[in-house]
Amino acid sequence: MRREVTLRDVAELAGVSSRTVSNVVNGYANVTERTRERVQRAVEELGYRPNVLARNLAQGRSGQIAVVVPYLDTPYFSELLQSVIRAARVSGYNVLIDQTDGDPEHERAFIADGSRRLLFDGVIFSPLGLDQQALTNRDHRLPLVILGERSSDGSFDHVGIDDVAASRQATEHLIDLGRQRIAAIGDQPYATGEAAQRRTRGFREAHAARGLTPREDLIISTPRFNRPDGAQAMAHLLDLAEPPDAVFCYSDLVALGAIRTLLSRGLRVPEDVAVVGYDDIEDGRFSNPTITTISPDKEMIATTAVERLLLRISSPTPPAGLELRAPHRLIVRESTAGRTPR
């Protein structure tokens, strides 16, 4: 019968102390990134699983965290969730997943007074229906890490990429290609559309930096970042007297919808209209053409969110909320560069 792997076994393989392994497993911050990675590799190699039940009984915790997202059918969130689950599992936590559909009342229930009685120790939350004020008026006893839309008010951590800089980079790429009439699809000019507004800001800044003024009729709002919205917005743009010769889409799903409309109208991508997306989802790597996109480091976003949440769960005094930036990069593919001749 195989002997159960212990904390000491992990420590010996990683070349660290048992206390260091315990700090990594419990999500404490006082460990260098290099040491943390070494311990995590040892955990995975040995198949070590913490005695979660004993730990939770001793600490009065459930051993579960909640991840709350607006839509599970959005590839960005499904890809991100896989990384969150892996990171939580290393520390012996189970993950509860809920879809809110952007409903404000549903979202509010997760951060309201007494929400901890719902059997989770903390929440990684991507709000869509709640504005900044609603996040401020929450149960401050609940450990909380926010993804995406909202900025930290100092009582929770916010993990994401620099949307303004990323959008500026995407737009500059199109300007550098010599495109003259660049459209943007995905603006959301209302209180809960902060992420979209940051992307529009980056779009405008890229033009201003080159002494250009974007055409207001080429900035199109959408209720969601999905395929139908992208297709409908692209159809509207093509019906203009002077349609665009390039488009920056605020998600890859929007870009997929836009490309479908372009091809159905007999236009070529990128020869007639160049397209840039956002999120680097798997679908965009296999579409025809493949999609040039802003690629956020989803693995780092997930790992950072889990580590910060576990730190908040384990700390007697909640640490100050931080704005944490993950890196991003522009990946150039066929939708702007064309196909490489064989």
Give residue-wise pLDDT tens across range 294-341. 999 999 999 999 999 999 998 888 888 899 999 999 999 999 999 876
* CA gap 289, 169 in Å, rounded: 21
| Alpha carbon separation from 128 to 89, 107, 188, 191 (Å, rounded) | 26, 8, 12, 10
**pLDDT given for residue 283 in this prediction:** 96
**pLDDT given for residue 287 in this prediction:** 97
Alpha-carbon dihedral 141, 145, 147, 149, rounded to 10 degrees: 40
Tokens 């609603």 correspond to what residue? 134
The Cα angle at residue 93 between residues 89 and 99, in degrees rounded to 5: 95
pLDDT band at 63 (very low <50, low <70, confident <90, very high): confident
Find the mean pLDDT for residues 146-156.
Answer: 78
- Tell whether the model's pLDDT for residue 151 goes beyond 80: no
**pLDDT given for residue 24 in this prediction:** 83
- Amino acid identity, position 276: V
CB atoms within 10 A of CB 282: 11
* CA gap 208, 266 in Å, rounded: 32
113 with 142: CB under 8 angstroms? no
Tokens standing for residue 25: 């497993």
pLDDT averaged over the chain? Answer: 89
Alpha-carbon dihedral 51, 55, 58, 64, rounded to 10 degrees: -120
Give residue-wise pLDDT tens across range 236-256. 999 999 999 999 999 999 999
CA dihedral for 72, 149, 252, 238, sign (positive or negative) = positive
Domains and CATH numbers, the chain: 7-50 (1.10.260.40), 64-161+298-326 (3.40.50.2300), 163-296+330-337 (3.40.50.2300)
